Amino acid sequence: MVAVPVVLLESEQFLSELTRLFPKCRASGRVFITLKKCDGRTRSIPKKGSVEGCEPADNKCLLIATDGKKKVSTVVSSKEANKFQMAYSSLLRAKMDGLKKRDKKNKSKKAKTPQ
Partner 1 sequence: MPQYQTWEEFSRAAEKLYLADPMRARVVLKYRHVNGNLCIKVTDDLVCLVYRTDQAQDVKKIEKFHSQLMRLMVAKESRNVTMETD
Q: Which of residues 55-94 bind partner 1 (CB under 8 A)?
A: 57-61, 63, 76-78, 81, 85, 88-89, 92-93
Binding mask 5-44 for partner 1 (x = CB under 8 A): -----------------x--xxxxxxxxxxxxxxx-----
Contacts of 4 (CB under 8 A, 6+ apart): 66, 69, 70, 71
- For residue 16, with 0-12 CB atoms within 10 Å meaning exposed, 13-18 middle and 19 or more buried, which class applies? middle
For the sheet with 71-77, list strands across it: 7-9, 71-77, 60-66
Among 50, 97, 104, 105, binds partner 1 (CB under 8 A): 97
50 near partner 1, judged by CB under 8 A: no
- Nearest to 12, CA basis, from 83, 99, 92: 83
Closer by beta carbon to partner 1, 13 or else 78 = 78
Q: How far is the CB of 26 from partner 1 (least distance, A)?
A: 5
